[in-house]
Amino acid sequence: MTEIVATNETILVVGGGISGMTAALEAAETGKQVVLVEKRPYLGGRTTQLYKYFPKLCFPTCGLEINQRRARMNPNLTLLTLAEVTRIDGTPGNYQATVRLHPRYVNENCTACGDCATVVNTEFADEFNYGLSQRKGAYLPYRMAQPQRYVIDPRIIGTPEAEQAKAACQYNAIDLDMTPQEITFPCGAIVWATGWQPYDAAKIQPYGYDRIANVVTSVEFERMADPNGPFGGQLVRPSDGKPAKKVAFIQCAGSRDRNHLLHCSRICCMASLKQATYVADAYQDAADIRIFYIDIRAIDRFEDFYNKVSAIPQVKFIKSKPASVTVDKDGNPIVNGVDTEGYHRYAEPFDLVVLAVGMEPAVPKDAFPVPIVVNRAGFIEAAPENGGVFAAGGASDALDVNRAVQHATGAALRAVQVVNRVRGVGV
């Protein structure tokens, strides 16, 4: 049984992406007790699945590593992975949280040696790569996963493979008798940092994501570009492995559209500008990159990045929201539309089409276990009615990492103020 030592001065953080980690660490480093609840088997959320960060084009691994180390070193932080908050009762300064813990079937003895995986053959779609590759039923979710511990997929539990995995482990780390648990503990304030998810591209029917192999989403493209990703970092087409040199980026795929998401997702313009550099770097002069857009929203200081990418001769901008994507007999996706600067009709074949999908809240409007005020897009509002519950990062808006982290720090401060009131210090 997992024991949580908590009081109503404890801060609960829900979601362990970059925002949740930041809020948890900022609060823990002021001396507060923090419980961090993460649904995945590891920390970091969606930033772990990015290849590079705009605007500096550095690797997310370095920022993640710093935060992982902060998390490991801090005695005030209790981390619960494979966990979900199912219920919250009470009032600010006096909440009771109920958390459901899913079994990992691997305990803290695990050294991540990987012996268990060598004897398991059953494979499943790798969620870390958005299903572009397979992983085994005993797996480390990704190279830098924190905690650095293997997971046994519940789908092999009860099969001989699970027993073989257990037998293969020299450290007695595999415990097949683990069961789901529910725990309840007090807390004074809550930071809600459950982040975002990509809009379901299949719903944008004319773009053919569900029909055309060489139409992919921007989140998949991040994985494709990563040397640790499904294609070893080679920018190739999913259908036949041919180089993807001529690439179309379609902006606002699902965003700013009354048939889909009403809001501008704010990140996707920058993401496509960044991804254009992946193609230009990979294929140099042979690269041919076209960005189809309504208008490019590189907000405030990101204008510099826009200028930098526009100066790359292989990158062209076409002011037009394409009407449809079709496919020719060789599997080449064809982008069809009319441009806005001259009303020229085009039907242009590409090696690959990347849909810059919108960001929507990961938790649907009515799925919060606590009353919370959300805006029409489902992002959490900074409303007094939310009491001692504060949104952080992507759960509050479509934010880039820099803004998400700033926002999370603010949320941590608000939570600290609530638990300080419980203690009787401050206002």
Positions that interact with ligand SF4 (CB under 6 A): 251-252, 255-256, 264-266, 268-269, 297, 356, 358
Q: How far is the CB of 337 from ligand SF4 (least distance, A)?
A: 10
Buried b (16+ CB within 10 A) or exposed e, 221-236: bbbbbbeebbbebebb
Judge whether 409 and 23 are in contact, CB under 8 Å. yes
Q: How far is the CB of 356 from ligand SF4 (least distance, A)?
A: 5
Q: How far is the CB of 96 from ligand SF4 (least distance, A)?
A: 39
Q: How far is the CB of 196 from ligand SF4 (least distance, A)?
A: 13
Nearer of residues 187 and 354 to ligand SF4, judged by Cβ = 354
> Can you give the C-alpha Rg of the chain in angstroms?
23
Nearer of residues 162 and 392 to ligand FAD, judged by Cβ = 392
Which of these ranges, 39-47, 111-119, 225-233, 410-418, lies near ligand FAD under the rule CB under 6 A? 39-47
- By CB under 6 A, tell whether 222 contacts ligand FAD: yes
- Would you give the binding string for another protein spanning residues 164-203, x where CB under 8 A is met? ----------------------------------------
Q: How far apart are CA 86 and CA 368, in angstroms?
A: 9
Q: How far is the CB of 305 from another protein (least distance, A)?
A: 23
Which of these ranges, 194-202, 307-315, 318-326, 379-387, lies near another protein under the rule CB under 8 A? 318-326
- By CB under 8 A, tell whether 272 contacts another protein: no
- Choosing from 40, 223, 266, 297, the residue that interacts with ligand FAD (CB under 6 A) is 40
- By CB under 6 A, tell whether 229 contacts ligand FAD: no
- Choosing from 320, 332, 386, 420, the residue that interacts with another protein (CB under 8 A) is 320
**Phi/psi at 390 (nearest 5 deg)?**
-125, 135
Residues in contact with ligand FAD by CB under 6 A are: 14-20, 37-40, 45-47, 50, 53-54, 84-85, 193-196, 218-219, 222, 267, 271, 274, 359, 362-363, 393-394, 399-402, 404
